[in-house]
Each structure stands twice: as structure tokens, then as C-alpha cells.
Copies of this chain bind each other. A is one copy, B any other.
């Protein structure tokens, strides 16, 4: 059994991770920690765990390299994990960080969009954990940067088109819509029920921190540096991300050519589902599961492609992908503990 510790276990991603690990046949949860709820019973914080998991939140460990575990999951505000991780810890166990600290290779880009990084020397060892695109590197790393929710959905949507050179890389527009869990469990007026129910808005237009992460990964796919427009929206629902992506087709492409590009990259992927012709992605069919649904439409009038991609932001966009990465890193069957389909309607 893999002994796992979870630091930051009482945010939404942390809690979802605890739920998935609790059900995982090869994992024992060693500890859950929380700054806000230390010394509280975990099932007092989250009533779904009542009578199911009898464990107390501990405080954040002072020195993680003392921990007797096989894998450490961290789900913390940016900057904290990078101050916690050390070479010594990485020699003892694997670390899967659900935060932003190790996602960007270019430290200057990091410093521009975030603030000071606390272990720059480790950045070169970190592997970006988008499972379907980076599986080989993931196998061998001890320091895994689990991708962001918007980024997972955006990158999976656009990579095949860029890899096959089918679109103008400078024309990408990503209009993203997220449920409110994407904003986390910290309270503030913007996510007070009656402030965000029955309304929709864009936010952080041209300035959201997931932008450079998307750009870095899509640049790899394109083989050149690219910039995108990324606009997140807050949708009155609990879970789910839908990305509606637009790009100019380089040539006149037909449906099959595009489809083959997706099929080539994702044809064998269990967790990516290419939807039938004419069927756009909807968050309801992936919510509560680790799946990514992708559909596309060619607008012949404007010669643009419109791609729709949907994920559950807390599963494929966070905890589920973290477990998938763990499975890869420990040589388990990749879908262990993740083979559940979306409950509907939920």
C-alpha cells in the first residue's frame, strides 16, 4: 500500500483528493493536514465523511522531510509549497503539487504572473503532469506539477490542432466558463451565494494566471512561442469547466482531417472522449468523473474551427489528475481508483 499524506486537505481540491484516495485500492491515507482546521475531525469539516473516515486534521508539518510516507500531495496557495519542498524530501518520497509553484519552467514568467518563487533550483526537475501528453516524463519524476483546471481543459482542446499544424497559432481565443468551486473554499463577497447566483460574468480578462501556463504548453505543441487570449467566466453552478476555443484554420480543412488529428493523439486515451460529429461538450456528462469531452465544429463561412472541451474542474482539473499522475509514477494501472462515470443528473 502506498502511504499518502495530504497537505491542504480542506480546500475543495484537497477534499476531493482525500475522497479519491480513500476509495483508491492501493493507497493508505497517512495524514491530512490543514491550517484552518487543525485538530478538528475531518468529518466535522466535511459531513460527507461522517462515520466513514475517522481521522483528525493535523497542522501543516514543519519539516516535511521527516515524514514517513511514499507520496505527498500539496494543495496550497502559490508560493507555500515551493518554500516547503527540498531535495532531501524528494529523495525520500514523491511529491505531487496541485498548486502553481512548479508548473512554469520559465522562472521569469513565473515572477511576472505570480510573486517570488522559493525553490527555483528545483524547477528544472519538476515535470508538468498533463498525463496524456507527458506520460513518459511523469513516470520518472519525483516532483510533479499537477496542471491547473482551466489549463488542462484548454491544452487538451488545442494541442492536436497545433501539433498537426492545422491552425494559425496566433489566432487562438479561449473563452472558458467555470463553476464556482473553481474559486475555492475561501469566503469572499464575489462568491457569496446571492452575489454570483443567477448571473454570469467574465473576470480577470487578459490577466488570469493560467494564461502563461497554457501558453507554455501550447508553445511546445506548436514548436514556437505563442500567445493566446484566455477569458475565464464564473457560471452559477458548483462544478465543471467548459472551454469554447476559436482558431483560424490554416487551410480549408475537412471534418475528417481534423478528427484524425485528435484521434491520432487521443485515440487510445481512456479519459479523453472525442464526441460524435455535431455534438458539443457539456459539463454535465463529465461532472463527477475524470473524463475530458472534446467536440469541434468547422465554420466554413469564416474558415474557423470552434472546439468545445469539458472537464470536472475538481477531478480531471485537480484531484483526479493528481491520482492519475500518482498511478503513473508508481507503476499502477493508470485508471486505478478513477473508473467511475459521471452521476446524472447531479
Contact partner of A194 (CB less than 8 A), chosen from B170, B181, B286, B340, is B181
| Chain B residues whose C-beta falls within 8 Å of the C-beta of A180 in the assembled complex | 193-194, 197
Contact B282 A200 (CB under 8 A): yes
Nearest-neighbor residue (CB-CB) of A206 within chain B: B299
The answer to whether residues A233 and B240 also contact, given A47-B282, A180-B194 and a CB cut-off of 8 A, is: no
Instruction: Report the minimum CB–CB distance from A180 to chain B (whole Å).
Output: 4
Interface residues on A, range: 35 or more
Contact A285 B48 (CB under 8 A): yes
Contact A202 B308 (CB under 8 A): yes
List residues of A (158-202) whose CB comes within 8 Å of B's CBs: 170, 173, 175, 177, 179-181, 185, 187-189, 191-202
Contact B201 A283 (CB under 8 A): yes
Contact partner of A344 (CB less than 8 A), chosen from B48, B193, B233, is B48
| Chain B residues whose C-beta falls within 8 Å of the C-beta of A285 in the assembled complex | 47-48, 50
The answer to whether residues A238 and B50 also contact, given A202-B244, A229-B306 and a CB cut-off of 8 A, is: no
Select the residue from A180, A235, A238 with max chain B CB neighbours within 10 A.
Answer: A238
Contact B346 A346 (CB under 8 A): yes
A316 CB-CB contact with B under 8 Å? no
| Chain B residues whose C-beta falls within 8 Å of the C-beta of A281 in the assembled complex | 201-202
Instruction: Report the minimum CB–CB distance from A125 to chain B (whole Å).
Output: 29
Contact A341 B236 (CB under 8 A): no
List residues of A (305-346) whose CB comes within 8 Å of B's CBs: 306, 308, 339-346
When each residue 288-306 of chain A gets 1 if its CB lies under 8 Å from chain B and 0 otherwise, what string results?
Answer: 1100010001110110101
A231 CB-CB contact with B under 8 Å? yes
Contact A244 B280 (CB under 8 A): no
Contact B205 A229 (CB under 8 A): no
Select the residue from A46, A48, A229, A236 with max chain B CB neighbours within 10 A.
Answer: A48
